[in-house]
Amino acid sequence: MGKDKLRRYRENESLPNVIQPGRPVPEEVFKWKGKWAKEYFGNMGKLILELGCGKGDYTLGLARRNQKDNFIGVDIKGARIWRGARTALDDGLQHVAFIRSPIEWLPHFFAQEEVDDIWITFPDPQLKRKRTKKRLTSPGFLDHYRRFLSGEGLVRLKTDSAELFEFTNEVLDQEGITAEIKSDDVYAQADLLPPEVSAITTFYESRFLAEGKPIHYVAFNPHKRS
């Protein structure tokens, strides 16, 4: 492991906007569970997560566009989170935080219906068949999200992967969920989508666009099943 990465890991321990809960203990209640907005952020704004946030491009972009709500980026890679956390502090974004954790652990850290929206931006599509359950829109992950996402909250997937987009829509069909909105080419249909879908461009998204790849988007409420 490089010295720079080690330095970032150490610095994360002292950054006020980085939370590293560690493996949850079943009998313990995480201190911010059910209290994120009121006690951690000190307001009553909505709580929006970005899962697999990397360096937090989308978390930061959403926070810059919306000063009244609260944004948390989640990733297991500490060196990536460090970059987003440092930028948030440097830019005075006090309504931004980062959690270093596997996504599977999140129901231990958030109370039922505590989260208002979930963004999943350019995740690893996990294209090998044996890794289907690792896809962040697989049925198992939807079950996780239902444990802490508001009854009116949306899961919003933005991806360059046609395979992941198709897989997600197949899962929705299987579970009897109707997408609230979807597009197989975000920038060709930007006027039909929420502005934050096309107004925020991540580092990797810029590369995909330069390669001529269309960007896909689907938003759905996992609670609303027929």
In 10 A of CB 107, how many CB atoms?
17
Alpha carbons within 13 angstroms on the beta-carbon side of residue 160 total 15
Is residue 78 predicted with pLDDT exceeding 70? yes
Q: Please, which pLDDT band fits residue 3 given cuts at 50, 70 and 90? A: low
- Residue of 75, 90, 116, 124 marked catalytic: 124
**What average pLDDT does this structure show over 141-157?**
98
- Whole-model pTM? 0.95
124 classed as catalytic: yes
Span 81-134, pLDDT tens digits: 999 999 999 999 999 999 999 999 999 999 999 999 999 999 999 999 899 999
Structure-token pair, residue 63: 């926070």
Q: Which position has the token pair 């690792």?
A: 134
Q: Please, which pLDDT band fits residue 1 given cuts at 50, 70 and 90? A: low
| Coil, strand or helix at 62 | helix
